[in-house]
Structure 1
Amino acid sequence: MTTFVDRVELHVAAGNGGHGCASVHREKFKPLGGPDGGNGGRGGDVILVVDQSVTTLLDYHHSPHRKATNGKPGEGGNRSGKDGTDLVLPVPDGTVVLDKRGNVLADLIGEGTTYIAAQGGRGGLGNAALASARRKAPGFALLGEPGHSGDVILELKTVADVALVGYPSAGKSSLISVLSAAKPKIADYPFTTLVPNLGVVTAGSTVYTIADVPGLIPGASQGKGLGLEFLRHVERCSVLVHVLDTAALESERDPLTDLDVIEAELAQYGGLDDRPRVVVLNKVDIPDGNDLADIIRPDLEARGYQVLEASAVAHLGLKELSFALAKIVAEARAAKPKEEATRIVIRPKAVDDAGFRVVVEEGFYRVLGEKPERWVRQTDFANDEAVGYLADRLARLGVEEELMKAGAHSGDEVVIGPEDDAVVFDWEPSLATGAEMLGRRGEDHRFDTPRPAAQRRRDRDAERDEADEEFDTFKPF
């Protein structure tokens, strides 16, 4: 039965935003009390959070589909819908988040580090929020935006200071069991260790973690044995410790050849050339092992390795080994640059950025941009007034003018949005001022009262700018 998983594909879906409400306040002697439709609630996010108590991705292996809750729709009486609940998923320290193409999206290290894997949709505005001096009684509301959804890959890279590497049955598990309180499975056959084991070692004032990486064999970097599955667990270590078996029973093997093979596999995997190496000659309590250690020690030191002798069974050389590793770890920590305080980078938009672009494709024109695509998602196409409001917003943004510059004519096919989520319609330039064809959106002459000329000018200016401001300032992320 699987108890350890260090790579999963997670299917995440954020909650949808709640729809806005189109409602008119009514009470006795007040048949037209004005719009009072509330706004929809925001959809819940899917958030990954580092939790030190979690050590495996096993839960997501069994249940890979995760979805946050939707926001509630708005209601009459200016009652906004409830926001959806965020779905918080705990992950182990050292989890890397990647997309389907293998691009790194986030590297989660440190307790409490978070990453929003899927962002919830914004709630739609109710007709009370859409009302203005010129649009006193909107008969429509905006729809909530759908939440983001997609697939992410979670990979666990063990966060350890020291990594023990070597052939199967070299004695790595035995060493970690006596250096720390870890209790890995130990047996006298190859591939006893099937998962990385972590232990905490205290040497004087230095406390560090040590990882026992499953045995490597020739060809591990190409997928043979278990090495490829767990080589990623040595990427974050500060020092690599080669555990060499000086009492190997196989006559065709010797410690120096084992060392060369493991180094070749690490070189092919890549990214580990800068890590300091230490060689531990294990099982020196056996007479033949002690003799072989004396023979090969000069050769190892000639290659520039720091060589230590140890025996997990007889508890020989363990103190010297733990303090030697502590010194290297302390030096690595001291050389590591201090983390800078979080900086806020402000990137203002270019003065000539229209917020959209028109692309001429074969047989039609495509409009791409954050605002027009968002406005389309918010529009209830079953409501003529809402469609006219969309036309007014697009006209104010300048889409009509850009289509004309691109050569569009009446009846041409115009597509708003990317291929997988687009709205197609036949373009009619006269719809650019849709308010003139059907009357202004939400205008009701029963609310009209004479206004001074200066007030009319101010209202006209405010209406011209409201399409850009009314939603963006409502509920920022």
Structure 2
Amino acid sequence: MTTFVDRVELHVAAGNGGHGCASVHREKFKPLGGPDGGNGGRGGDVILVVDQSVTTLLEYHHSPHRKATNGQPGAGDNRSGKDGQDLVLTVPDGTVVLDKKGNVLADLVGQGTTFIAGQGGRGGLGNAALASARRKAPGFALLGEPGEARDIVLELKTVADVALVGYPSAGKSSLISVLSAAKPKIADYPFTTLVPNLGVVTAGSTVYTIADVPGLIPGASQGRGLGLEFLRHVERCSVLVHVLDTATLESERDPVTDLDVIEEELKQYGGLEDRPRIVVLNKIDIPDGQDLADMIRPDLEERGYQVFEVSAVARTGLKELSFALAGIVAEARAAKPKEEATRIVIRPKAVDDTGFTVTYDEHEEVYRVRGEKPERWVRQTDFNNDEAVGYLADRLNRLGVEDALMKAGARAGDGVAIGSEDNAVVFDWEPTMMAGAEMLGRRGEDHRLEAPRPAAQRRRDREAERDDAQREYDEFDPF
């Protein structure tokens, strides 16, 4: 049964925003008292938060699909919908968030560090919020936006100052147990350690963390054994400690060859070349172990390594080792640049930035409009409501989309798509300032509040407005 997981794929979905409400206030002797539809509530976010009491991603391995709650729709009498509840997911200290392509989205280090993995959708405005001097009684409301949904990868990289690396059964777990208060599983057979173990060491005034990395064998960097799963846990360390077994029971192995093999695996993994190395010759309490340590120590020192002879069982040589590690860690901490206070940088938009682009897609044979505002407005529009469609046309026209389409060469009847290729609204373009008025008369007004016009008169008015708009378009030359 799996008890430790340090890499998972998580499918997160934020809550959808609640729809706005289209309502007209009614009371005795005042059946049409004006719009009173409330706004929809905001959808809940999906938030990752570092909790140092959490040490594994096991919970998300078993249940990788997580969704926040939706916002509630608005109601009449100016009642806004309730916001959705944020979904807070706790992760271990040192968790890295990546997208499906491997790009780093966040590096979560430190208790309480947060990252919004999924942004909740905005709630739609009710018709009371849409009312204005020109639009006294809107007969529509805006839809809530869908929450952000995406797949992310969580990788746990242990936050430790010192990493112990070496072959299985080299004595890493025993060493960490005597240097700190950690109590890892210890035995005399290979692959004893199946999870990284962390311990806290105090040496004088320096307190640092130490971790052992299990499962390093030849081919680990290519995925053999367990090594690839745990090599990421040494990436944050300040110093690497090679723990060499001077009393191995395997006749074909020797400590120097073990060191060369592990160094080659670290080189293949990459990114660790600048970390200082220390060599620990372990198990010198065994007579043969002490003799072998005396033989290979000069060779290791000639290579430039600082060598320590220790026995985790007899607890010899530990004080010198712990203080040496404390010195290296202190130097590494002092060399790190101090974090400056966060400064807010305001970057105003360029004066010619319209906030959208218009391009011709030859493959689809449509003019494609991309931009945050037009795409958001499309998501908020109820296309079953003609008045809402007309309001969208007004917003796009005020933004300058119609002028941009004309300059791009669009003509009446050409296809226009707003949004990405896989999620776009496509329509035949009617290049007129009154694009939606032919359906709605004077859009944005509730004709129930006015004296009704005869149907024939309304039809003649629409035809006249359409003819005027077409005449203006025919006379317009963008070039």
Check whether TM > 0.5: yes
Q: Please tell me whether the aligned partners of residues 386 and 440 of structure 2 are also in contact (alpha carbons under 8 angstroms).
A: no
Is 1:406 matched with 2:408? yes
Number of the residue aligned with 1:459:
none
Q: Which amino acid aligns with 2:395?
A: R
Q: Which amino acid aligns with 1:402?
A: A
Return 5+ residue gaps in structure 2 as ranges: 451-479
Deviation track 1:235-294 (CA, whole Å, cap 9, x = no partner) reads: 000110000111112222111111111111111111111111111110011111111111
Deviation at 1:441, TM superposition (A): 2.6
SS in structure 2 at match of 1:256:
helix
Number of the residue aligned with 2:138:
138
Deviation at 1:304, TM superposition (A): 1.0
Q: Please tell me whether the aligned partners of residues 394 and 432 of structure 1 are also in contact (alpha carbons under 8 angstroms).
A: no
Q: Which amino acid aligns with 2:340?
A: E
Change over 3 Å in CA distance of 1:254–1:446 after alignment to 2:
closer
1:237 and 1:263 map into 2 onto residues whose CA distance is: 16
2:215 and 2:26 map into 1 onto residues whose CA distance is: 76
Q: Please tell me whether the aligned partners of residues 95 and 157 of structure 1 are also in contact (alpha carbons under 8 angstroms).
A: yes
2:434 and 2:396 map into 1 onto residues whose CA distance is: 8
Deviation track 1:41-66 (CA, whole Å, cap 9, x = no partner) reads: 00000000000010000000000000
Number of the residue aligned with 1:443:
445
1:437 and 1:407 map into 2 onto residues whose CA distance is: 26
Number of the residue aligned with 1:336:
336
Number of the residue aligned with 1:156:
156
Q: Please tell me whether the aligned partners of residues 386 and 439 of structure 2 are also in contact (alpha carbons under 8 angstroms).
A: no
- Calculate percent identity across the aligned residue pairs: 88
User: Which shows bigger deviation, 123-132 or 427-436?
Assistant: 427-436
Number of the residue aligned with 1:44:
44
Q: Please tell me whether the aligned partners of residues 282 and 312 of structure 1 are also in contact (alpha carbons under 8 angstroms).
A: yes
1:314 and 1:262 map into 2 onto residues whose CA distance is: 26
Deviation at 1:440, TM superposition (A): 2.8
SS in structure 2 at match of 1:97:
strand
Q: Please tell me whether the aligned partners of residues 391 and 444 of structure 2 are also in contact (alpha carbons under 8 angstroms).
A: no
Number of the residue aligned with 1:169:
169
Number of the residue aligned with 2:428:
426
Number of the residue aligned with 2:457:
none
Deviation track 1:111-153 (CA, whole Å, cap 9, x = no partner) reads: 1111110100000000000000111000000000000101000
1:164 and 1:446 map into 2 onto residues whose CA distance is: 79
2:436 and 2:219 map into 1 onto residues whose CA distance is: 69
Runs of 4+ that moved beyond 6 A: 445-448
1:432 and 1:282 map into 2 onto residues whose CA distance is: 85
Deviation at 1:218, TM superposition (A): 1.2
SS in structure 2 at match of 1:319:
helix
SS in structure 2 at match of 1:79:
coil
Q: Which amino acid aligns with 1:209?
A: T
1:243 and 1:292 map into 2 onto residues whose CA distance is: 14
Number of the residue aligned with 1:80:
80
Matches within 5 A, 1:30-429: 30-362=30-362, 363-429=365-431
Deviation track 1:410-429 (CA, whole Å, cap 9, x = no partner) reads: 11111111112111111111
Q: Please tell me whether the aligned partners of residues 169 and 215 of structure 1 are also in contact (alpha carbons under 8 angstroms).
A: no
Q: Which amino acid aligns with 2:416?
A: V
SS in structure 1 at match of 2:73:
coil
User: Which shows bigger deviation, 422-431 or 264-273?
Assistant: 422-431
Deviation at 1:215, TM superposition (A): 3.0
1:415 and 1:4 map into 2 onto residues whose CA distance is: 48
SS in structure 2 at match of 1:293:
helix
Deviation at 1:183, TM superposition (A): 1.2
Number of the residue aligned with 1:460:
none
SS in structure 2 at match of 1:429:
coil
CA RMSD, Structure 1 to Structure 2 (Å): 1.5
Q: Please tell me whether the aligned partners of residues 41 and 80 of structure 1 are also in contact (alpha carbons under 8 angstroms).
A: yes
Return 5+ residue gaps in structure 1 as ranges: 449-477
1:329 and 1:7 map into 2 onto residues whose CA distance is: 27
Q: Which amino acid aligns with 1:407?
A: G
SS in structure 2 at match of 1:182:
coil
Deviation track 1:209-236 (CA, whole Å, cap 9, x = no partner) reads: 1101103111111111111110000000
2:434 and 2:212 map into 1 onto residues whose CA distance is: 68
1:438 and 1:276 map into 2 onto residues whose CA distance is: 75
Q: Which amino acid aligns with 1:393?
A: R
SS in structure 2 at match of 1:280:
strand
Deviation at 1:333, TM superposition (A): 1.0
Deviation track 1:282-338 (CA, whole Å, cap 9, x = no partner) reads: 001111111111111111111111111100111111111111111111111111111
Q: Tell me the TM-score normalized by structure 2.
A: 0.91
Change over 3 Å in CA distance of 1:361–1:445 after alignment to 2:
closer
Number of the residue aligned with 2:463:
none
1:193 and 1:140 map into 2 onto residues whose CA distance is: 63
Q: Please tell me whether the aligned partners of residues 136 and 447 of structure 1 are also in contact (alpha carbons under 8 angstroms).
A: no
Q: Please tell me whether the aligned partners of residues 370 and 418 of structure 2 are also in contact (alpha carbons under 8 angstroms).
A: yes
Deviation at 1:92, TM superposition (A): 0.3
User: Which shows bigger deviation, 236-245 or 330-339?
Assistant: 330-339
Deviation track 1:23-46 (CA, whole Å, cap 9, x = no partner) reads: 111111222211110000000000
1:303 and 1:432 map into 2 onto residues whose CA distance is: 82
Deviation at 1:186, TM superposition (A): 1.1
Change over 3 Å in CA distance of 1:432–1:157 after alignment to 2:
farther
SS in structure 2 at match of 1:417:
strand
Deviation at 1:439, TM superposition (A): 2.9
Number of the residue aligned with 2:2:
2
Q: Which amino acid aligns with 1:241?
A: V
User: Which shows bigger deviation, 104-113 or 314-323?
Assistant: 314-323
Q: Which amino acid aligns with 1:138?
A: P
Q: Which amino acid aligns with 1:226?
A: L
1:279 and 1:411 map into 2 onto residues whose CA distance is: 76
User: Which shows bigger deviation, 97-106 or 252-261?
Assistant: 252-261
2:442 and 2:392 map into 1 onto residues whose CA distance is: 12
SS in structure 1 at match of 2:420:
coil
Deviation at 1:187, TM superposition (A): 1.1
Deviation track 1:361-407 (CA, whole Å, cap 9, x = no partner) reads: 12221111111111110000110100111111111111111111112
Deviation track 1:192-223 (CA, whole Å, cap 9, x = no partner) reads: 11111111111122111110110311111111
2:142 and 2:448 map into 1 onto residues whose CA distance is: 24
User: Which shows bigger deviation, 330-339 or 14-23?
Assistant: 330-339
Q: Tell me the TM-score normalized by structure 1.
A: 0.92
1:444 and 1:236 map into 2 onto residues whose CA distance is: 64
